[in-house]
Amino acid sequence: MNVTLSVDDEVMREARRRAEAMGTSVNQLVRDYLAQFAGFTDPAALAKEFERLSRESKGNSRGWKFNREELHERR
């Protein structure tokens, strides 16, 4: 089904920029959100995918860890 939405130009530009950085499209993000909102997603499958992506991540914190004070620090 095609749906027409009214979205502020600046909001759409930023959404496109962020979606591109995530390797997806605004259209796909909206589809995913609506499926989740409607209850058509499996939370266990999402958690499993998150775990898989976390294990495959090449990120490196160089040993840095959050501490309680930094976690709650207001800037």
26-47: per-residue pLDDT in tens?
999 999 999 989 988 888 988 9
Confirm whether 67 is domain-assigned: no
What phi and psi, each to the nearest 5 degrees, are found at residue 4?
-105, 130
Alpha-carbon distance of 23 to 13, in angstroms, equals: 15
Amino acid at 32: D
Provide the pLDDT for residue 17.
Answer: 96
Provide the pLDDT for residue 75.
Answer: 66
Confirm whether 66 is domain-assigned: no
Contact 35, 41 (CB under 8 A): yes
- Tokens coding 15: 């959404």
Q: For 58-74, how does the pLDDT look when each residue is reduced to its tens digit (9 = 90+)?
A: 888 888 887 888 878 77
Q: Is the pLDDT at 52 greater than 80, yes or no?
A: yes
Number of domains making up the chain: 1
What b/e string do you get for 17-44 counting C-beta neighbours within 10 Å, with b at 16 or more? eebeeeeeeeeeeeeeeeeeeeeeeeee
Confirm whether 75 is domain-assigned: no
Confirm whether 27 is domain-assigned: yes
